[in-house]
């Protein structure tokens, strides 16, 4: 359990506890960004390595969570830029199911996840934080150091883009 005390002065077991508590959050941010499990694992481990060096500067468990989300997201964006993988998955590679699907359909989920991974990195960051981490716009803005208005407008454009591409799958009229 990540308490303020364990953040301040962790021994090996405490730190491993922090890794276990947050591993799915950090790994999932990376995986939903990259759609590549080995790359996502490596990136997530890099985040925890950086956390180990920076832990003394974090003041609370909430600060730790916010820090992990910010660092994981920024590393994903940097990774995409460095690898010139923007977008990593081209839209033309995203297969659309032949018939409309129910929202919990695994095929629909896979298609949507691929569509998200085809977004520009900045939009992808916003969509992942909003829907994976269920963060509010203001919280996303604070985490990424962006103006709230920018987050709102970019998120709205990203969702419009996704809606348009997914409309046939979801059977929604535009």
Partner 1 sequence: MSRLDDALREALRREDPPSGFAARAMARIEAAPQRTSVWAGLQGLFGWRRWRWAAALAGVVLAVGAGEYGIEMQRRAEGERARDQVMLALRITGGKLRLAQAMVQRVEYAPRER
Q: Which is nearer to partner 1, 116 or 121 (CB)?
A: 116
Which residues does 153 contact at the CB level (< 8 Å), separation at least 6? Answer: none
Among 7, 64, 71, 116, indicate the residue that binds partner 1 (CB under 8 A). Answer: 116
Establish if 59 lies at the interface with partner 1 (CB under 8 A): yes
Phi–psi pair at 39, nearest 5 degrees: -65, -40
* Residue 99 Cβ vs partner 1, minimum distance, rounded to whole Å: 15
Establish if 104 lies at the interface with partner 1 (CB under 8 A): yes
Dist. CA 43–CA 37, nearest whole Å = 10
160 is written with which tokens? Answer: 């419009």
Q: Half-sphere exposure of residue 129, counting CA atoms within 13 Å on the CB side?
A: 32
Dist. CA 124–CA 120, nearest whole Å = 6
Establish if 61 lies at the interface with partner 1 (CB under 8 A): no
Which residues in this chain contact partner 1 in the complex, by CB under 8 A? 8, 12, 15-16, 19-20, 23-25, 27-28, 31-32, 37, 40-41, 44-45, 48-49, 52-53, 56-57, 59, 103-104, 108-110, 112-113, 116, 127-128, 131-132, 134, 159, 162-163, 166, 170, 172
């Amino acid at each position: 359990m990540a308490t303020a005390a364990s953040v301040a002065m962790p021994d090996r077991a405490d730190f491993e506890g922090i890794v276990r508590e947050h591993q799915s959050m950090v790994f999932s941010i990376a995986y939903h960004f990259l759609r590549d499990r080995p790359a996502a694992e490596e990136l997530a481990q890099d985040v925890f390595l950086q956390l180990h060096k920076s832990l003394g500067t974090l003041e609370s468990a909430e600060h730790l969570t916010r820090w992990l989300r910010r660092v994981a997201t920024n590393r994903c964006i940097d990774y995409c830029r460095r690898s010139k993988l923007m977008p990593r998955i081209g839209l033309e590679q995203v297969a659309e199911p032949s018939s409309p699907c129910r929202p919990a359909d695994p095929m629909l989920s896979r298609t949507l996840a691929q569509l998200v991974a085809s977004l520009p990195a900045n939009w992808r960051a916003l969509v992942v934080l909003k829907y994976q981490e269920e963060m509010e716009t203001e919280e996303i803005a604070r985490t990424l150091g962006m103006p709230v208005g920018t987050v709102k407008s970019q998120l709205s454009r990203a969702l419009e883009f996704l809606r348009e591409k997914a409309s046939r799958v979801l059977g929604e009229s535009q």
